[in-house]
Structure 1
Amino acid sequence: MNILFVADPLEAFKIYKDTTFSMMREAQRRGHRIAACGPQDLVWQSGDMVKAAVREITLTGELDAWFRETASPIKALKDYDAVVMRKDPPFDSEYFYATHLLEHAEREGARVFNKPAALRDHPEKLAIMEFAQFTSPTLVTRDADAVRAFHDVHKDIILKPLDGMGGTGIFRVKADGLNLGSIVETLNKHGAQTIMVQRFVPEIVQGDKRILVIGGKPVPFSLARIPQGTEVRGNLAVGGKGVAQPLTARDFEIAHALGPVLAARGLLLVGLDVIGDWLTEINVTSPTCFQEITDQAGFDVPAMFIDALEAAIAA
């Protein structure tokens, strides 16, 4: 199989934890050929197909010079058996445009994972609205008065921007309401931007669990990202500690309910964020934690992913 990964620059990979690298390593171990490009390398011209300036690579097994570039052709995306979209957030206008180029490549015969239209249709914070039976009380609004009314009811709340990543822009406001007005003004830009507000889930002290769902089936271990010190956020990007642990009965309930639905829409890989018993986000752009779960729990997540990718191509 010939696989193209659309990703961030290879030189920026931290291979000791990078999920895309772990996918590449498992694919090469099985004898598949791998190549990489960035969204900026995608190009379409009328009368031609969607193409990309790609980097055909071989992994060396070394820590520093971890790949060797063997060729740098310009190739049509449909010439690959699979195109794996692994560009990290933010989901900005350039990411949006890339999904349209990838979708046109699909019309030409390319097989893209996750499906570009599904990436657009499942914004990572708003996608939970479809599965509200699994979420804690949540409000999506621009209205500062609505936020204050929500706080009056729930007392202890979390506020966050819809386009945040890695824990950026997340605030907690307790029962005293300290700085609520200022925080809302900061996040909603005086009513110009929509924000999300959720009832605080105290089980965050036990971790913000990342549950991976591959081909509609859950990986049996999550990575609980546990806040450190006085921090309320468990995100690894802000210093959270990642601890692999078996899924709970509730974790399985959520994953089994969402997994087949999302897989049927072309989402081969999904990361569900669960705090306590509550679903908080559905990550579809570039879910991570493969290496942490594999290293700590001994469950081979990259192998499960490549199994699912091979099965999807064969179907």
Structure 2
Amino acid sequence: MTRLFTALTVALGLTTATTTAFADPNFWQHEWPETDFSQTTVANWAEILSGGPPKDGIPAVDEPQFLRQSDEAGLSPRESVITVALEGQPARAYPLRYLMWHEIVNDRIGDIPVAVTFCPLCNSAIVFDRRTEAGELSFGVSGKLRNSDMVMYDRETESWWQQALGTGIVGDLTGVELTQLPVWMESWAAFREAHPEGLVMAEPPFRRAYGMNPYQNYDSSHRPFLYSGENPPHDVPPLMRVVRVGDAAWTFDRLRAEQRIAENGVTLTWEDEQSSALDTADIGGGKAVGAIRVRDGAGQDVAHDVMFAFAFHAFWPEGQWMVK
């Protein structure tokens, strides 16, 4: 963990002082004067910590630019992308090499405004529809963590949102839920083969070490960073990847062994492999991890998340562990 913390310190400017958060809305009110902290589902403010960077210290990307996939020559074949394939639109690939440094991309695909999100500390890659009962929202990175998961905020009301849940947890929009879209992570090579007319997000106009992993060896750690909660049950390692569908989770160990699992109304398949973005310094050179698809009985893709086991247990403490 010492090596991990050193990498994070260099990459994100963390210090021991900044990671010791003030668990007090009265302190946060100076930074968040428009946020109504009296409206919240957070019972224990000590769960919310500073991740180091301040509000927008990790800048979300707005109005991303795209290339035809055939024109992109800078990505490694095995590196991970988030694939969004909405009906009637060319599939889009969002490389983790960019999301590692920005965590949120506010985009529009056809008529649908989307938020493409990635929390490196939880390995959680979720795409949300930005339309809500309160209107269309755009999102930024608050700089706060809860159970090591990113806390997002919307720019319209400055309410706080739990990325893993897609739910407002502080402010005017507390309790509002975002709609999760059925997307998946796969290798750049797999995306190119499946989507010859696909588009890929172009490198954002920021000075960042794109293609480098600031969380080197993180997914080989014994404990998550800035997490003090319980370990998962069934002797599942905290940083084991699991596939979450609703409140149920399947471990990658089981999926690797069985390759195809049909239960709980869905079919999960181990379709390919991609490099872990949270292993070696070079994102494209990480150890092989599975590329999973989740479909329903009609063969349609199902909304899901591939996250670390500790995060599933933290946010779904009564969730189903689909173990044998």
Please give the range of the TM-score, normalised by the shorter of the 2 chains.
under 0.3
Bigger Rg, which one = 1
Structure having the higher strand fraction is: 2
Q: TM-score under structure 2 normalisation? A: 0.25
Q: Which has the higher helix share?
A: 1
